[in-house]
Structure 1
Amino acid sequence: MDLAVVALRTDAERYSRMLPRAEVVAAPAAVAHRPARLAWEQTGLPLLAQQVGAKVLHSPFYTCPLRAGCPVTVTVHDATFFTEPEHYDKTRRTFFRSAIKTSLRRASRVIVPSKATRDELIRLLDADPTVIDVAYHGVDQTAFHVPTEEEKARVRARLGLGDSGYVAFLGAKEPRKNVPNLIRGWSRAVTDLPDPPALVVAGGQGHDDDIDRAVAEVPAHLRLLRPGYLRYADLPGFLGGALVAAYPSYGEGFGLPILEAMACGTPVLTTPRLSLPEVGGDAVGYTTEDPDRIATDLRDLLQDEQRRITLAKAGFDRAKEFTWDSSAEVHIAAWRRAAE
């Protein structure tokens, strides 16, 4: 199967290196801005698909051309714009709700990353189950691996943690990720421990204003770090060096951060919302979104070393079941069905 990838000009060289057998086409410079990109997707992208002789056009992020000139497949990553609307601003919520409904009507095949997302689309939007394909995300076992002691020490040194233990969060700071309640739960869980572990909240800044309010409530003797983005090469050391990776999300289309932590041999504490149990199974610990319950469950896990060891091993073994090769096979099968 021949592959042509359309990318922003800033990404074209990187995709050319990653996909040496693909034809990588740089989109016009103007589409770097979202409004122009959305407009070009409806007009310029179908023309480009025609020029490269595409038999199927795949849109990887909710939206798709209305008149593509060939069958279209589209990835809908989650249904949380419908199930958790309060966690999005009105403009974003309105746009993505409309985009998802349009894609479900127009696309020949719809690809989703979990059965939970498929079931939500069917339940909430009366989507046709016969055109939805579930392609689980994978995890790169080379990029996300059980780190060496040297890798862990390097990250601790960069974060200024020394030999102190810590709880890790890695992800976007969106309201749906529940970071404020994680901060409150961690604070209550460790405040009276003789050697309280730090909380390190890493990742992009996001748009959750309640995080600053939660930070202001943290007692002065506890240590909370917000380093922002970490170097990609440091992620195994960061995740694998943590006592616990905590991800008490209100719901995910897949939940890649918990899979990456599992692949690094880290015990995970998350919630049983939407797709997260599909990924974690019996290999992770579960809590709720409430800060008091997070505090209780996190403290229990921090004080039970044997359970952390058991979860770490079970999570590492389970992570091996999720591969990008398997995901690619589902995508290719969906494209073939669309072309036929």
Structure 2
Amino acid sequence: MTIARSPRVLVDATSVPADRGGVGRYLDGLLGALADHSDIDLVVVSQRTDQERYARTLPHAQVVAAPAAVAHRPARLAWEQTGLPLLAQQVGAQVLHSPFYTCPLRAGCPVTVTVHDATFFTEPEHYEKSRGTFFRSAIKTSLRRAERVIVPSKATRDELIRLLDADPTRIDVAYHGVDHTAFHVPGEEEKARVRSRLGLGDQTYIAFLGAKEPRKNVPNLIRGWMAAVRDRVDPPALVLAGGQGHDDEIDRVAAEVPAHLRLLRPGYLRYADLPGFLGGAVLCAYPSHGEGFGLPILEAMACGAPVLTTPRLSLPEVGGDAVAYTGQDADHIAKDLAILLDDEPRRCALAAAGLSRAKEFSWSSSADAHVSAWQRSIRHQR
């Protein structure tokens, strides 16, 4: 009897940024869950700075370092079209997975691509012109060329079908997961450590975690927070953690914050400090204009934090009834922040519901969905 060999899948991890932002969280979580997956033979190509990390965390996978030049985006995109197909041939890949919108036009084997969201089409005003143009073109190309497209939510799938007439039979939904060991309900010591590092003392705070891009709606969050807390005896601070992004309006609005209110912008926090930061907040606010998934609200829920977000695109798929919703304008944000700040029982109920709902999302389930898509791409390659 002949035993079928598990298909060899090459995952391109060269797009992971040094700060382990959104695509880094996605790939680290996915690859970790794939490490012992018996249904595939895994090969990972990474930047040289990540080779040791992946070799350590993926002991049963083959880890290959890409040329040093791929650390620069133009060189990486060029290598993707030439060097990556050659590598796929050298390692005998039966499927090549490109995890960040773009893919080789000719790979010599079926290609699957993750398209994280359709907001480049639905919210074009929130992107720099050149960036928006590039990713809109990349998404259209991937929809044409890839054997299958993987998306993190039904909302993203539906938008691709509605806006671009994408073939629904070639789109697979694979929800993101959350690392429940890394993102957990923090103890008092974890909370205190973060508060000390931020210089908050005993002051309560509202937390935001994410890149400072126009789509994240941070200026209206600042305006809404100012209106909601300016007349309170002990107003909570607003802490905007994460990358700086390219939203220049944030600086202009931040300059309007009254002296008696505290707006903190600490930049990136240590990964180990995120549970204490999210779980130690009086609430986490994420009033985004639209997301392909909304990983920050899932991570906040997993840390036992009450969450206020918007009912835009995929966010209700992630939050369900376990989060509170608000509008995108500053007046709605102010009103709903004030309601939650004055209602501790409601915040406690949201925290408990969010913690329960977060358990429904795992990287193991996401890995299973990816493997199913890869197996389908082999069976039905065009």
Fold match by TM threshold 0.5: yes
1:134-153 matches, within 5 Å, as 134-153=173-192
User: Could you say which residue in structure 2 is the equivalent of 1:174?
Assistant: 213
Partner residue in 2 for 1:131: 170
The residue type equivalent to 2:135 in the other structure is: F
State the shift of 1:276 in Å: 0.2
Deviation at 1:44, TM superposition (A): 0.7
Which residue does the alignment assign to 1:28?
Answer: 67
Which of residues 65, 82, 102 is equivalent to 2:104?
65
Name 1:303's counterpart in structure 2: 342
What is the CA distance between 1:292 and its match in structure 2? 0.8
Equivalents in 2 of 1:50, 1:8: separation in Å? 19
Deviations 1:66-108 (A, max 9, x none): 0000000000000000000000111101110000000000111
**Other structure's SS at 1:44 match:** helix
Counterpart check, 1:197 vs 2:210: no
Please, which of 269, 274, 280 is the counterpart of residue 308 of structure 2? 269
Matched with 2:124 is 85
Stretches of 4+ aligned residues off by more than 4 angstroms: none
User: In the aligned structure 1, how far is the partner of 2:130 from the partner of 2:64?
Assistant: 31
Q: C-alpha separation between the residues in 1 aligned to 2:197 and 2:66?
A: 38
Is 1:75 the equivalent of 2:114? yes
Whole-Å separation in 1 of the counterparts to 2:305 and 2:280: 8
Deviation at 1:236, TM superposition (A): 0.3
- Provide the rounded CA distance (Å) in 1 between the counterparts of 2:263 and 2:321: 29
| TM-score, with length taken from structure 2 | 0.89
Gapped regions of structure 1 (runs ≥ 5): none
1:305-320 matches, cutoff 5 A: 305-320=344-359
Aligned mate of 1:102, from 129, 137, 141: 141
Equivalent of 1:46 in 85, 98, 113? 85
| Cα-to-partner distance string for 1:117-167 (whole Å, 9 max, x where unaligned) | 000000000000001000000011110000001110111111111111000
Aligned to 2:295: 256
Partner of residue 288, structure 1: 327
- Report the Cα offset of residue 339 of structure 1: 1.1
- Report the secondary structure of 1:3's partner residue: strand
CA distance in structure 2 between the aligned counterparts of 1:201 and 1:323, rounded to whole angstroms: 26
Q: Structure 1: which amino acid aligns with 2:320?
A: G
| Range that drifts further, 311-320 or 1-10 | 1-10
Give 1:291's aligned amino acid.
A
Within 5 A, what are the aligned runs for 1:153-164? 153-164=192-203
Letter in 1 for 2:120: F
Match of 2:255 among 207, 216, 239: 216
Q: Which runs of 5+ in 2 are unaligned?
A: 1-39
Alpha-carbon distance, 1:11 to partner: 1.0
The amino acid of 2:108's aligned partner reads G
Deviation sequence 1:33-65 (CA, Å, 0-9, x none): 111110110011000000000000000000000
Asked if residue 242 in structure 1 is aligned to residue 252 in structure 2, the reply is: no
Whole-angstrom distance in 1 between the partners of 2:174 and 2:93: 22
Tell me the secondary structure at the aligned position of residue 41 of structure 2. Answer: coil
Q: Give deviations 1:179-201, integer Å, cap 9, x for gaps.
A: 11101100100000110000000
Cα deviation 1:291-329 (Å, max 9, x = unaligned): 011000001000100000000000000000000000000
CA–CA distance in 2 between the matches of 1:18 and 1:299? 44
1:7 aligned residue (46, 50, 58): 46
Question: How far apart are the structure 2 equivalents of 1:184 and 1:67?
Answer: 48
Deviation of residue 32 (structure 1)? 1.2
Which of 209, 221, 226 pairs up with 1:187? Answer: 226
Residues in 1 aligned to 2:126 and 2:53: alpha-carbon distance in whole angstroms: 33
Identity %: 82
The answer to whether the aligner puts 1:228 opposite 2:267 as a matched pair is yes
3-state SS of paired residue (2:234) = coil
